[in-house]
């Protein structure tokens, strides 16, 4: 079932994250963790590519956290369908259970700004979100992950 939700714990937040994750329970866990680690962020949610696209058209979004495998496509399918938004500055983090070696083709894309393995935990996701929202330049790291260079 296509679903999109908006969660706001405070008014006047400066950044908006769109979380695209099809597993309801995991999405709830991510929502709770990001609410704790990043209380200054608003959180929008969608459970598939089809539900995410209208959210992008109707709400300002700074960053998308997208599960690699979705019921109606992949994170890359969503990235390719929202290219105009990415060119306008939306950052993309892919979240997956796949190893970074398996994700190398995704990580080498210029329109993907970060990758977090689900096994790394949600604190790592929150740290990656913070880093990416502070940066403008990403550079592939030799191990297949991304290192972030701070904007001058």
In DSSP terms, 20 is beta-bridged to 46, 66
- Residue pair 102/135 in contact (Cβ under 8 Å)? The answer is no
Total structural domains in the chain? Answer: 1
What pLDDT shows up at residue 147?
38
Predicted confidence (pLDDT) per residue in 74-120, tens digit: 999 999 998 888 888 899 999 988 877 778 878 888 899 999 999 99
Mean pLDDT of the chain: 81
Which CATH number fits the domain that encloses residue 40? 3.40.50.2300
Predicted confidence (pLDDT) per residue in 25-44, tens digit: 999 999 999 999 999 999 99
User: Rounded CA gap, 146 and 82, in Å?
Assistant: 22
- The model carries a pTM of 0.79
Q: Is 3 a residue whose pLDDT tops 60?
A: no
Domain span at 77: 4-150
Provide the strand spans (E) within 12-144.
Answer: 15-20, 41-46, 63-67, 69-70, 73-74, 91-96, 114-117, 135-140
């Amino acid at each position: 079932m296509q679903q999109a939700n908006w969660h706001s714990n405070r008014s006047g937040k400066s950044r908006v994250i769109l979380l695209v994750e099809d597993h309801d329970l995991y999405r709830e866990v991510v929502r709770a963790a990001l609410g704790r680690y990043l209380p200054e962020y608003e959180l929008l949610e969608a459970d598939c590519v089809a539900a995410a696209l209208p959210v992008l058209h109707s709400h300002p979004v700074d960053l998308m956290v997208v599960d690699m495998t979705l019921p109606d496509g992949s994170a890359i399918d969503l990235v390719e369908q929202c290219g105009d938004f990415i060119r306008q500055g939306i950052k993309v983090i892919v979240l997956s259970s796949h190893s970074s070696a398996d994700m190398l083709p995704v990580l080498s894309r210029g329109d993907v700004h970060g990758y977090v393995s689900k096994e790394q935990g949600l604190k790592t996701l929150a740290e990656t979100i913070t880093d990416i929202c502070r940066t403008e330049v990403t550079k592939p790291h030799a191990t297949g992950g991304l290192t972030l260079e701070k904007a001058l």
